[in-house]
Amino acid sequence: MLLIPAIDLKDGHCVRLRQGDMQDATVFSEDPRAMARYWIDQGARRLHLVDLNGAIAGKPKNEAVIKAIIDEVGDEIPVQLGGGIRDLDTIERYLDDGISYIIIGTAAVKNPGFLHDACSAFSGHIIVGLDAKEGKVAVDGWSKMTGHDVIDLAKKYEDYGVEGVIYTDIGRDGMLNGVNIEATVKLAQALRIPVIASGGITNLLDIDALCAVEEEGIMGAITGRAIYEGTLDFRAAQARADELNGES
């Protein structure tokens, strides 16, 4: 089970939002590059970056900070990035800069042809991000609910050739009230590609619960507020996951 620290970028700072609300942001670091180094030193094997301003604007807005993080990380661990990525040129630029995986969210729902083209042009580098509440997909920074069923969409994107799915329960993200294990497992069971869980991780009990269902196809989990506010010790959590999965 891969635990992936989230570095959410707003106005050049590392922040966390509650349920995607840009007006409810807590700044955890004014130096995201140093934060990236910190998580690597704590044993992170992958980083999750989100350009929050970019997600709202529909185009990159924190590119200079993202490049600084990439320079810091080098080729030590993979970095995945989402937020405001709406065209193939932006994907190519980020991959050339050193990003390993591009996350396409809202654009995948609104413009599936773009996702299909991205998977064809950059095979092996595209992850789709699906944010859902009660089984229905949300878009535009969670501000709009759609009628799309999350499993039906994920299956379609699997056929396009995406590398995996990041599944966020938007009712739980940033609320520190536990992972929606049932919904995450249901999605993973319906797919052949791996699922990365996101939203709600609070403590080691959540790590235990995720590890117990890893064989259903859940390869990792993104964690944010819990590791910044201290309800979850990242190094201890990854060690726990490794122990439960016989990797230590």
Pairing of strands 13-18, 21-29: antiparallel
Spatial separation of the C-alpha atoms in residues 13 and 27, rounded to whole Å: 7
Q: Which of 8, 51, 169, 173 is catalytic?
A: 8
Spatial separation of the C-alpha atoms in residues 189 and 66, rounded to whole Å: 34
Spatial separation of the C-alpha atoms in residues 248 and 233, rounded to whole Å: 17
Find all residues with CB under 8 Å of 91, minimum gap 6, and list them: 85, 102, 118, 121, 122, 125, 126
Q: What is the dihedral sign for C-alpha 86, 11, 45, 129? A: negative
CB-based contact 247:211 (threshold 8 Å): no
Q: Which of 51, 131, 169, 206 is catalytic?
A: 131
Spatial separation of the C-alpha atoms in residues 119 and 10, rounded to whole Å: 28
159 is catalytic: no
8 is catalytic: yes
Active site members: 8, 131
